[in-house]
């Protein structure tokens, strides 16, 4: 009741965040709602990676993820400008008490501060969400999964820079922009990595009360100073590595230089799974307000996401196989299987309940007559296939047994003959080789002599063919023309015959309607013959079995 009466906050801390198949382990994440713009923002602070308190396993895993895969939590701005994160990480690693040489080498190789630094903002519009799953189990954090068609990502050096250029990346209402700047400024003020997440969330809400937000709005209304766009009068500037460690005046100059850094265009992700984990008691109430106000979101929440969808998108190899169209495909296949099962159940009732069978035959006589005929033909084909396969199996078994017996007899007979004929065949092979070596020169001489004798005749034949070829083509022109005319005449006669045949069949069908009754009687007679054949085949199968 108190949550319904008091206005709910717009920012909430998260205990776990997963985007795609990659999780954020050390970074602090917050969820900010812009209810008027119908958007949700994920604020990720990578400052905790500057400390050396993480375990080796966590650093090794995050290093492998950011090194060999496209992690959404990596900040690409580290490759453009020297960052404060590198200096802080190096100083933290060098000042660690009792640190071993292996750990120093590890910090030199796996420098996560090059990728995991700064401040990230992810934007998701509620209209791009096409899947929602809410899970609240006992003794565990509450889980909310969103499947979004599009998601934008902005990269900054810190929350202070994000607050300074809010007008470049946040396109919501003015009141939401002022509130977001206040939250970002408060988040920058509480950026101590040693501070607990719950304590930071409480401090954010306490700092960003109505009075503090109004003060921020008044500072923002003063406008930019110095003629520099994107600089608010009340916002401090950024520092580089050396200036941060140096004097306060140098730090102020470095902060101004960092704030003047070019704005990087956002990266866009498509068809992404976003999984939140939280333990804040006010966040479910906020989600209820947002979802209940939109019937589409309420429908998505009631439908939920199948477990296999979340499973497929949470593992590296399986996420490459999943596509958004698989969900409607699986749903359609499930409905089709259910429909087929229902039809099979009705058919079973139709075959086993005589009263239902007679009532259905009386109501839908022609349809069930066709079903009976089709069932009878199917059974006959099934029995014929069984008899054929059974006889084929017996035939193949007999043929294999005969071949094995013949192989054994031939092996017993051919063994002595092979021992006796082996030396004779070897001598014949050597004699044939000697004869071939002796006759090879004589054969080559004979071939050369034949080529010399045939060369004059070949020249004469080529000359005669060159002269008579054009004459023969001219002489064949009348024959080709006659063949083409004959082909056209044949095509015309065939078309005329087919047209006349169609007309005759149409007229015959009009004047021979009286034969339909005879055909029906004949079909009934054929049905009785089929049933007789079915009984004979069934009796034969039962006898054989």
On the question of pLDDT at 70 being above 60, the answer is yes
On the question of pLDDT at 105 being above 70, the answer is no
Top-confidence residue, 387 or 512: 387
Whether 171 maps to a domain, the answer reads: yes
Q: What is the pLDDT of residue 415?
A: 79
CA distance 85 to 99: 20
- What SS3 state is found at 216? helix
Q: Are residues 318 and 334 in the same domain?
A: no
Partner residues linked to 144 by β-bridges: 134, 276
CA distance 271 to 402: 64
Q: Are residues 150 and 244 in the same domain?
A: yes
Whether 139 maps to a domain, the answer reads: yes
Question: Looking at the 3D structure of the chain, how many domains does it have?
Answer: 2
Residue 496's CB: how many other CB atoms inside 10 A? 10
Give per-residue pLDDT as tens, 408-417: 888 888 877 7
Domain that includes residue 349, residue range: 328-360
Backbone angles phi, psi at 349, to 5 degrees: -65, -40
Whether 188 maps to a domain, the answer reads: yes
Q: What is the pLDDT of residue 44?
A: 92
Q: Are residues 251 and 273 in the same domain?
A: yes
pLDDT band at 6 (very low <50, low <70, confident <90, very high): low
Most confident range, picked from 151-155, 258-262, 486-490, 521-525: 151-155
Q: Are residues 216 and 241 in the same domain?
A: yes
On the question of pLDDT at 165 being above 50, the answer is yes
Residue located via tokens 């998505």: 300
For 278, the token pair is: 């939280």
Q: Which of 340, 360, 380 is the last residue of a domain?
A: 360
Instruction: Calculate mean pLDDT across residues 294-298.
Output: 94
Q: Are residues 261 and 190 in the same domain?
A: yes
Instruction: Calculate mean pLDDT across residues 488-515.
Output: 72
Q: Are residues 242 and 352 in the same domain?
A: no
pLDDT band at 288 (very low <50, low <70, confident <90, very high): very high
Q: Are residues 164 and 24 in the same domain?
A: yes
Residue 64's CB: how many other CB atoms inside 10 A? 12
Whether 334 maps to a domain, the answer reads: yes
pLDDT band at 149 (very low <50, low <70, confident <90, very high): very high
Q: Which of 310, 339, 360 is the last residue of a domain?
A: 360
Q: Are residues 249 and 206 in the same domain?
A: yes
Instruction: Calculate mean pLDDT across residues 53-70.
Output: 64
CA distance 213 to 293: 26
Q: Are residues 49 and 118 in the same domain?
A: yes
CA distance 246 to 207: 29
Q: What is the pLDDT of residue 206?
A: 65
On the question of pLDDT at 178 being above 60, the answer is yes
Instruction: Calculate mean pLDDT across residues 426-432.
Output: 82
What is the residue-averaged pLDDT of the chain?
75
Q: Which of 290, 336, 313 is nearest to 127 (CA)?
A: 290
CA distance 536 to 530: 10
Q: Are residues 290 and 347 in the same domain?
A: no
- What SS3 state is found at 153? strand
Instruction: Concatenate the DSSP letters of all residues of 315-381 into one string.
Output: STTHHHH--TTHHHHHHHHHHHHHHHHHHHHHHHHHHH-HHHHHHHHHHSHHHHHHHHHHHHHHHHH
């Amino acid at each position: 009741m108190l949550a319904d009466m008091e206005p709910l906050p717009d920012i909430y801390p998260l205990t776990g965040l997963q985007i795609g198949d990659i999780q954020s382990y050390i970074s602090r994440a917050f969820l900010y709602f812009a209810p008027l713009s119908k958007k949700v923002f994920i604020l990720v602070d990578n400052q905790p990676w500057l400390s050396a308190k993480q375990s080796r396993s966590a650093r090794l895993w995050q290093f492998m993820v950011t090194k060999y895969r496209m992690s959404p939590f990596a900040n690409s701005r580290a490759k453009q400008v020297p960052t404060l994160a590198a200096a802080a990480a190096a100083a933290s690693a060098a000042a660690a008490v009792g640190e071993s040489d292996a750990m120093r080498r590890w910090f030199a190789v796996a420098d996560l501060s090059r990728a995991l630094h700064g401040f990230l903002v992810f934007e998701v519009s509620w209209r791009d969400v096409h899947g929602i799953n809410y899970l609240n189990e006992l003794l565990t954090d509450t889980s909310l999964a969103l499947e979004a068609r599009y998601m934008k990502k902005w990269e900054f050096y810190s929350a202070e820079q994000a607050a300074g250029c809010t007008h470049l990346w946040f396109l919501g209402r003015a009141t939401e922009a002022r509130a977001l700047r206040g939250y970002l400024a408060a988040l920058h003020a509480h950026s101590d990595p040693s501070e607990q997440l719950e304590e930071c969330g409480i401090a954010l809400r306490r700092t960003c009360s109505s009075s503090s937000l109004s003060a921020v709005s008044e500072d923002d209304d003063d406008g930019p100073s110095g003629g520099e766009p994107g600089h608010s009068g009340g916002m401090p500037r950024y520092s580089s590595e050396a200036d941060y460690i140096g004097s306060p005046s140098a730090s102020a100059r470095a902060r101004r230089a960092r704030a003047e850094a070019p704005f990087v265009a956002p990266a866009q992700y498509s068809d992404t799974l976003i999984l939140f984990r939280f333990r804040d008691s006010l966040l479910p109430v906020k989600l209820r307000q947002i979802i209940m106000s939109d019937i589409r979101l309420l429908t998505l929440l009631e439908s939920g996401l199948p477990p296999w969808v979340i499973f497929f998108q949470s593992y590296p190899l399986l996420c490459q196989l999943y596509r958004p169209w698989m969900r409607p495909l699986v749903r359609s296949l499930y409905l089709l299987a259910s429909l087929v099962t229902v039809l099979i159940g009705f058919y079973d009732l139709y075959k086993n309940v005589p009263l239902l069978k007679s009532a259905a035959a009386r109501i839908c006589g022609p349809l069930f007559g066709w079903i009976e005929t089709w069932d009878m033909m199917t059974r006959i084909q099934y029995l014929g296939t069984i008899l054929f396969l059974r006889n084929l199996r017996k035939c193949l078994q007999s043929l294999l047994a005969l071949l094995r017996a013949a192989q054994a007899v031939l092996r017993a007979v051919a063994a002595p003959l092979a021992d006796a004929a082996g030396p004779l065949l070897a001598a014949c092979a050597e004699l044939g080789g000697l004869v071939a070596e002796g006759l090879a020169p004589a054969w080559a001489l004979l071939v050369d002599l034949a080529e010399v004798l045939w060369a004059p005749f070949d020249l004469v034949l080529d000359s005669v063919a060159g002269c008579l070829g054009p004459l023969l083509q001219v002489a064949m022109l009348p024959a080709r023309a006659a063949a083409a005319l004959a082909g056209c005449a044949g095509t015309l006669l065939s078309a005329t015959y087919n047209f006349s045949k169609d007309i005759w069949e149409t007229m015959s069908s009009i004047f021979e309607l009286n034969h339909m009754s005879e055909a029906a009687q004949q079909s009934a007679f054929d049905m009785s013959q089929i049933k007789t054949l079915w009984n004979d085949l069934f009796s034969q199968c039962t006898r054989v079995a």
